[in-house]
């Protein structure tokens, strides 16, 4: 659905995005993590045909970003929730959505159905006739999400959709994104919120001008330290050590009656470890899994890119 090859954007002597090569599948929720100034918003603006690219290639739904003839086609099939919502504050919530629905040439019936659906989903239906200028930041953000979806886009770009929102509003937005995920919408999500990315995204890219890594949250977590299974036993003897070594797992260390074993997939390997220990006459008192977190991976990769 989204493909870039060496996508680059410079502002004078400053390179904001440096040689980005990326693929996002149809129906995937892809998260972009990175510090301020990493190039996340610049990437989204290029893909939405709002600013030009300096070099490289990019395609959205097989349309060429940078091709003058393709730009209107891309804009018709995408929705954008920008970092600055930019609503018409002297219009009501309903009027804002109806106006944008008309721009996308939606019929009156389509507009009515979509406006009611999104405002109810986002908890704004009772405020449909209130002037947008009276809305809180959270309410405006939710209305901006509804606006981005009013024309039923194939791809939704979201730039920090929960930034500066209170916990309740943030949860409403996250839950709504999860509902869109069930509908197999392709979503490109810029966020600073690691927990949000882990809960919502199928894959995550970590950007610091250059793409530092990409993978599922679990793959990124394992990329730092891997996983270790720690088994505490009543006692450890040679028979138990031999039984565990026969499993051909990663390296194993012993400290008194505790074994620490390198594993790749704890859910698959831990049952075999426990079974081998018990069959060798061992008594397992506790078992735990140690591993790096998404935060560990993020911080390590961002520091490497500095």
Task: Please write the tens of the pLDDT for every residue from 174-188.
Answer: 888 888 888 888 999
Q: Averaged over 41-64, what is the pLDDT? A: 95
* 186: nearest Cα among 305, 61, 53, 33: 61
Q: Averaged over 256-278, what is the pLDDT? A: 90
Question: What span, in angstroms and rounded, lies between the C-alpha atoms of 98 and 29?
Answer: 27
Looking at the chain, the whole-number percentage of residues with pLDDT higher than 70 is: 98
Q: Quick one: pLDDT at residue 16?
A: 95
If asked whether residues 112 and 241 sit together in one domain, one would say no
Establish if 16 belongs to a structural domain: yes
If asked whether residues 237 and 150 sit together in one domain, one would say no
If asked whether residues 255 and 181 sit together in one domain, one would say no
If asked whether residues 67 and 211 sit together in one domain, one would say yes
Establish if 102 belongs to a structural domain: yes
If asked whether residues 176 and 245 sit together in one domain, one would say no
If asked whether residues 191 and 46 sit together in one domain, one would say yes
Q: Quick one: pLDDT at residue 83?
A: 83
Cβ–Cβ < 8 Å for 129, 104 = no
If asked whether residues 231 and 86 sit together in one domain, one would say no
- Look at residues 199, 215, 231 and tell me which one is the last residue of a structural domain: 215
- Look at residues 163, 180, 215 and tell me which one is the last residue of a structural domain: 215
Establish if 34 belongs to a structural domain: yes
pLDDT at residue 299 is higher than 90: no
Cβ–Cβ < 8 Å for 81, 144 = yes
If asked whether residues 20 and 156 sit together in one domain, one would say yes
Establish if 138 belongs to a structural domain: yes
Number of domains the chain is built from: 2
Q: CB under 8 Å, gap of 24 or more: what pairs does 212-216 form?
A: 212/301, 212/302, 212/304, 212/305, 213/297, 213/301, 214/22
Q: Quick one: pLDDT at residue 124?
A: 93
Give the range of the structural domain holding residue 207, as residue numbers without chain letter. Answer: 2-215
Q: Where are the beta strands (DSSP E) in the chain?
A: 2-11, 14-24, 29-33, 55-60, 63-64, 78-81, 155-159, 186-190, 203-208, 210-215, 227-233, 252-255, 258-263, 284-291
If asked whether residues 188 and 274 sit together in one domain, one would say no
Q: What is the pTM of this model?
A: 0.79
């Amino acid at each position: 659905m989204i493909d870039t090859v060496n996508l680059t954007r410079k502002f004078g002597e400053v390179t904001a995005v440096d040689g980005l090569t990326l693929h996002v599948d149809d129906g995937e929720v892809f998260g972009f993590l990175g510090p301020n100034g990493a190039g996340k918003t610049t990437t989204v603006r290029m893909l939405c045909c709002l600013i030009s690219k300096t070099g490289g290639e990019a395609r959205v739904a097989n349309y060429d970003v940078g091709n003058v003839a393709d730009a209107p086609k891309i804009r018709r099939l995408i929705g954008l929730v920008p970092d600055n919502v930019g609503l018409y504050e002297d219009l009501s919530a309903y009027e804002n959505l109806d106006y944008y629905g008309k721009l996308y040439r939606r019929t009156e019936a389509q507009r009515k159905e979509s406006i009611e659906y999104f405002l109810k989903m986002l908890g704004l239906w009772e405020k449909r006739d209130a002037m947008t200028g009276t809305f809180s930041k959270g309410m405006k953000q939710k209305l901006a999400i509804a606006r981005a979806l009013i024309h039923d886009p194939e791809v939704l770009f979201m730039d920090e959709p929960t930034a500066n929102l209170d916990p309740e509003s943030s949860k409403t937005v996250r839950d709504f994104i999860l509902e869109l995920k069930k509908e197999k919408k392709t979503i490109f999500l810029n966020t600073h919120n690691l927990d949000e990315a882990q809960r919502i995204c199928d894959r995550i890219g970590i950007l610091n001008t250059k793409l530092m890594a990409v993978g599922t949250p679990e793959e990124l977590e394992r990329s730092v330290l891997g996983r270790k299974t720690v088994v505490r036993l009543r006692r450890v003897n040679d028979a138990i050590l031999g039984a565990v070594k026969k499993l051909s797992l990663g390296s194993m260390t012993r400290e008194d009656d505790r074994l620490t074993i390198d594993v790749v997939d704890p859910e698959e390997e831990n049952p075999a470890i426990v079974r081998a220990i018990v069959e060798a006459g061992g008594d397992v008192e506790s078992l735990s899994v140690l591993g790096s977190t998404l935060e560990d991976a993020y911080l390590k990769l961002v520091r490497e890119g500095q």
